[in-house]
Structure 1
Amino acid sequence: MSTHVICLPGGVAPAAQRYSPLKSTLHRRAELHLKDHELYGGESAPADYSVEMELAAVDRFADSLGLERFHLLGYSGGGFLSLAFAGTRPQRLLSLALFEPAMIPGQRGPEEQAAMDYLNAQLDGLQGPAFMAAFVRAQLKPGVQPPPPPSQLTPGMEKRPAGIAAMMGAFLAYSFDRDLLRACEFPVYLGYGDLSHDYEAVQAAVLARLFADIRIQRFAGVHHFVPPEQIYTPIHAQALEDLWARASAAQLALQK
C-alpha cells in the first residue's frame, strides 16, 4: 500500500524548498505531493483570498492525483490550513502531521490571543524587509539570534511580506469550531522547536486537549526559521513514517 502525503508549506519558502530534505531522507519510501498556496499563484494575492480558497484547492489537488484519502503534512501557515482541512474534511485524511502551525483555527484562549496581539503589534505599519525581519524576531524566544537575511532574493520572494499579511488576515477572519478537531479519529503528530517563542508550547497544549490521538515532539536547538534540513532530520522523518504506518495499518484493519 503506497503512502501518499500532501505537503503544505508555510508562507515564506515554497513547498519544493521546504520539503526537499524530507524527500531526500525518505528516499521514495513515501510519495510526497507538494502543494504550493493559491495565495502566490498570481502577481499579487487574490482580492477574495480566503482559507476556503486554499482548502478547496487541496481538494482539487488530491482529486487530480486520484487520492480519495491521504496523509496531510503542514508547516506554519500550511499547518493552519491542514488543521482547517482536518476539521472540515476529516473523511479524506488518514493522518495529520504538523510543525509549528501558524495558529490554530477557532476561538483562541487568553494565552493564544496575547501572542497574536504581540505579533500584530510588532508588525503594525511595517512593509518589505522591515516586515520580514520583525516577523522572524517575534517568533523566536528572547535572546535567540535570528538567521541572517538572504544575500539575494529567490524569485517570487518579493511577494512574501504582502502575502503573509494577506494570509494572516484570512486566518483571523476564518470561522471554525474547534469541536470539529475533537471529533477527528485519525492519528496526529506535532513537532516544534525549543528555541521558538513560548507560543508554540501553548499551542501544543491546546492541540493535546483537542485531539484524542496525538504525539507531540519537541526538538532541541530548533526554531521556526532554521534551514529545512534542521527541521526534517532523520529523527523527524522516522516519527512521520511511524505515524503513516500506524494510520495505514488502522485503515487496513477496517477494510478486513
Structure 2
Amino acid sequence: MTPFRVILLPGSVLPAGPAYGRLLEALGTGVDAVAKDLELYADDSPPADWTLDTEGDAVLREADARGWDSFHLVGYSGGGSASLALTAAHPERLRSLALLEPAWAGTWDWSPEHAELWKKYDQLNGLPPGAFMAAFMRLGVRDDVVLPPPPPGPPPPWMARRPAGIGAFLKAFKSYNLDRSRLAGFDRPVLFILGGKSNPDDYADNAARLSRVFPDFRLEVFPDRHHFDPPHRIEPERVAALLQEHWARAEGSPGP
C-alpha cells in the first residue's frame, strides 16, 4: 500500500518538531509525513509582505519538491488558518483536510460572542512580550481553565519571535479574504478536532460555521483538552487513529 502523503503545519507558538513529534511517532509506518515549519519564522522578524498565502505557497513548494501532485493537509491554530486559505486557493492539490482548532476561519456569520472576542484580540496590540503571551493564551481557553506557569529557566531562543509572529497572524486575519464559496466547493473529507476546554466563542464557533460550509465535515471533540494542551500533543494515539481513518476514507480504502 502506498503511504499516505501528509504535510502538517504548526501553530504560531511551537515549532513543527515539538508540536508534532509525538503525533508522528504515533502515526508510525504507512505515513510519509513532513511537519513543516512556518515561513513566518524563517527570519528574525516576520516578512513585511507575509500573508496566509505565503504559507500556502511554501506548502505547495514542499509538495512539488517531493513529487506530490496531491497530499493530505493538517493544520493547527494559525497553521489551520493557513490550511483553510490553501484549500480555497488550490483545492485540486488536497486529498483531505484536517483542522486542529484553526485560529481563524473567515469573516462570515460571526456570532456576537465571536465578534466580542476578536475585539479583545485587538487589544493585545502594543502589550510587552510577556504580558502579550499571557493575555493571548488566556483568550484561547475557557474561563475556568487554569493555565500552567511558564517552565523554569530561560525560554528557548525561538520564543522571542513569537509575539511578533502572532501579531502578524492577527493582522492578516483582518484583511484576508477567505473565499467561502471556494471552500464550499471542496468535496474532499474535512476533519475538525476540537478541545472541550478551549474558548467556545472562538474554536467551537469556527467549527460550527465551517460545518455549514464544507459538504463532507466531521467534528471530533476531546472534552478534557484545550488549545494549549491540544489533542495531537497530549492524546497522540487517538488523534493518529482518527487521522488514519480520515485519510483512508479519502483514499477510498478501509481504515487500519
What TM-score do you get using the length of structure 2 for normalisation? 0.92
Give CA deviations for 1:2-58 in whole Å, capped at 9, x if unaligned: 201000000000111111011111112311111111110011111111122222111
Q: Select the residue among 199, 224, 228 that pairs with 1:225.
A: 228
Equivalent in the alignment of 2:175 = 173
Q: Which amino acid aligns with 2:164?
A: A
The sequence identity of aligned pairs, in percent, is 41
Q: In structure 1, list runs of 5 or more residues that go unmatched.
A: 251-256
Equivalent in the alignment of 1:147 = 148
Q: CA deviation at 1:206?
A: 0.5
Say whether 1:117 aligns with 2:119: yes
Q: Distance in 2 between matches of 1:212 and 1:158?
A: 40
Is the CA contact (8 Å cut-off) linking 2:195 and 2:222 kept in structure 1?
A: yes
Q: In structure 2, list runs of 5 or more residues that go unmatched.
A: none
Equivalent in the alignment of 1:16 = 17
Q: Select the residue among 180, 185, 190 that pairs with 1:183.
A: 185
Q: Which amino acid aligns with 1:185?
A: D
Q: CA deviation at 1:82?
A: 0.6
Q: Distance in 2 between matches of 1:217 and 1:99?
A: 10
Equivalent in the alignment of 1:253 = none
Equivalent in the alignment of 1:206 = 209
Equivalent in the alignment of 1:245 = 248
Equivalent in the alignment of 1:215 = 218
Q: Which amino acid aligns with 1:215?
A: R
Is the CA contact (8 Å cut-off) linking 1:84 and 1:105 kept in structure 2?
A: no
Q: Distance in 2 between matches of 1:233 and 1:61?
A: 24
Q: Distance in 2 between matches of 1:137 and 1:194?
A: 15
Q: Which amino acid aligns with 1:129?
A: G
Q: Distance in 2 between matches of 1:176 and 1:2?
A: 31
Q: Distance in 2 between matches of 1:208 and 1:227?
A: 21
Say whether 1:135 aligns with 2:136: yes
Give CA deviations for 1:109-135 in whole Å, capped at 9, x if unaligned: 2343222112223x1431211100100
Change (3 A) 1:74 1:90: same
